[in-house]
Each structure stands twice: as C-alpha cells, then as structure tokens.
Chains A and B, each alone.
Chain A
C-alpha cells in the first residue's frame, strides 16, 4: 500500500512540478535553496536535489532564465526568473488543470 502511494505521488509530482516552479517564479525571482525549501515543505518534490536537473532543462527550453543578484543581506546568488515563454506555458497549464481538476474531484468525492 505504501508502495502504491509512493508510486502515485511520484507520478503526479512529475506532471506538476515544472508548473509549480513556474507559478512560484511568476510571483518573484527565487534562488535554488528558496525554491527547494518551498517545494519540499509542501510535499511537491521528494528531494531537493531533483529540482536542479529540472531547472537546467527548463532553462534550456527557455521557460526560465537565470541572473546574478546580490541581496541587501548576503552574497551574490544565481536567481531564477520566469520568461514570457514560461508565463505562456503556465497559462496553458492553469487552463488544463482547471478543466481536469473538478472532474477528478467529483469522481473521488465519495472515497475516504
């Protein structure tokens, strides 16, 4: 049963993690550890390490870009920012999610 839970969780995360990252970055630019902490705290990714290969791929695909920023407190960090292309992808995802989500909720409403 635990195996099944793990497998289902992994599959669903795989489908949504990229868009959660885009949604987070659409609020403000974030650096790696910030993103990782936020996602891990909400159970959206199992390990922080798996975030970085995803970010590398997203950057290659052009949905995010990186820039170096030095905050008031602290040292220079590489920040991730969403691109126009990333925003467009996020809008598409949001539309799809809103379509699917009520139907899934309806189907599982009676499960406990």
Chain B
C-alpha cells in the first residue's frame, strides 16, 4: 500500500490540488502534495476509510486557498480572470483600429451616412467626408479602450456600458455597423469571460462542452470543403486541401482537447482572414470579414480561458519513484 500509487479517489484529489496551485512555485507544491499523499497513506493504514481521510483533509480548493494565504500568492481565479479580461479588451481595441481603417479608407459604399448627404457612388468615407469625420470611425476603438484608463472599480460597468452602446450602434449603423460586429462580439466577451472565470463557470463539464462546440465550429470549414471536394463540386490542389481542409480539422481537434496553441492559431487565422478580406476586397468581402471576426473571437476566448500549464506534474508519479527506500525494518 505505502509504496504504490494510491486508489483513484486519492490520486484525483491530489491532481485537483496540484491543478489549483498550478501557478505556485513547483517545489513548494510538490512538498505540500507529498505531505498530503503521506497523510492519506497513513490515514488509510490507521484504519480510516478513503472517504474519512479525504473529508478530514477538506476540499482541494480549501487546502489550495490556505496555501495561497500562506505563500502570499495572488488569488488564482481573480488574477486569471483579470488577465483574461485585459487580453480580450486589448484584442478588441486592435480590432477596433483595424475596423476603422477598413471602414474609412477601403469601404466603397453608396450608402450615405445620412439621407441628406447622398454622395456619388464608389467613394470611401475619407474621400467623401474628409479626414475629420473619418476620425469618428475610431470612436468604437476608443470606447473599447476606455476601461483601461478608468479606475479598477468602475471598469466592469464601463465595459458593459461600452458593449451595450456599440451593440446599439451596430444595429443602427446599417452596413457600416455590420463591420463593427466582430468588435462588438469581442467587447461582450471581454465583459462576460472574466466574470464567468470568477464564478468558476466552465470548471468541469461546461468547460469541455465549450471546447467541443468551439472545435466543431473551427473544423466546420474544413469539413464542408472536404465534402465539396469529395463530391467533386469543385477541385482543389494539394496546397488548397492542406490550407482549407487539413488545417481547420487539425485546429478543431486541438481546440477540442483544450490546447491553448490551437486557440491561438485559430485567433491568428481569423485575424488573417479579416486582413486578407480587406486587402483583396473581392467576392463576399463582408462575409469573410465577419467569419474571420468570429474565429478571432472564438480563438481569443479559448486562449484566455485555458490556463497555461506551467506545473511539472510530479505528483502524478507513483510514490515509489520519489520516496527514499524504506529500510528493511520497515513494515
């Protein structure tokens, strides 16, 4: 009993404890986990049941909370949530600037900003209204950035207020508003994701269903293209197959496994599609822009929600590998 791995319930407990402390110094975590492991072993040896032993210890979250107090670590969830919010908001601001450039300089639209000012066709906003009014297209980016400049207490409210305001603007703004839709999605994510992390939503079951849903969505273009190629609706060369079939499916699998890199590449791919859509301005420009934005949002959300795995998982190795050999008199 003492030199083997413990029953699964205990190993699960120890794994959970290690995961809660994934940002603590590994040596300290190893020491605590080794002690708790020895405690469980001794408790079982002294005739307690596994349930009694684990109940006596308290929940892994409680032990980890105590460790955070003792080691003066920042509260893991709060810190993680705040970082997630900042990252999403920074991506949103960058996207806001990109959208402003796109809308001001590239968008050639016949739709006037208001009905009294119907201009000639095929002019960009800068050409039609001059740089002064074009600066207005940067307003959403500024609204997105505003919470960065505000004191921490008001940030949450300011973030939601900005998201509500821009959502309304998107619907009122007609075709131009449509281009701000990805930005609006990201702003909502920047408000919702941190509070979901704080409240511990998505810790277990919800988290894996979110990964699967994201994965299906990411892999979808690959699956659709694959079926089109298979039914010879249209042909693709090998590069095309690699780019449009293999890449989305591989990314989907990575996302399903909750691997951060998969989400990072998904976000970058989404951003790339948006930029290409801007540069090419070809067929289905708005469609590519919106879908690119959607993938950017999914990728960025997944990336910030999945925690970096920094801990070396020593506690998962069986006790025998770490414990000093017991002397022959040992029982």
Interface residues of A (CB under 8 A from B): 31-33, 36, 40, 46-50, 52-57, 59-60, 68, 70, 72-78
Contacts and interface: CB of A to CB of B under 8 A. Distances in A.
B330 A57 contact: no
A46 B58 contact: yes
Contacts of A72: 329
10 contacts: A32-B39, A49-B36, A49-B58, A50-B58, A53-B63, A56-B71, A70-B330, A75-B3, A75-B326, A77-B38
Given A36-B39, A70-B329, A75-B2, 9 more contacts: A47-B58, A50-B62, A57-B71, A59-B31, A60-B28, A70-B326, A70-B327, A76-B327, A78-B38
**Secondary structure of the A contact surface, majority rule:** helix
Contacts of B323: 76
B54 to A, nearest CB: 9
A47 B57 contact: yes
Contacts, number: 89
Nearest to B329: A70
A1 B48 CA distance: 33
Q: How large is the interface on B (under 10, 10 to 19, 20 to 34, 35 or more residues)?
A: 20 to 34
A16 to B, nearest CB: 15
B32 interface: yes
**Secondary structure of the B contact surface, majority rule:** helix
B121 interface: no
B71 A78 contact: no
Given A40-B56, A78-B34, A52 B63 contact: yes
Contact of A32 (B42, B58, B331): B42
B331 A78 contact: no
B160 to A, nearest CB: 32
Nearest to A78: B38
B67 interface: yes
Given A53-B71, A56-B70, A75-B2, A48 B327 contact: no
A76 B28 CA distance: 21
B331 A50 contact: no
B63 to A, nearest CB: 4
A52 B69 CA distance: 12
Contact of A73 (B36, B63, B331): B331
B35 interface: yes
Nearest to A68: B324
Which of A31, A53, A78: most chain B CB closer than 10 A?
A: A53
B43 interface: yes
A66 to B, nearest CB: 9
Contact of B70 (A46, A49, A53, A77): A53
B46 interface: yes
A57 B43 CA distance: 23
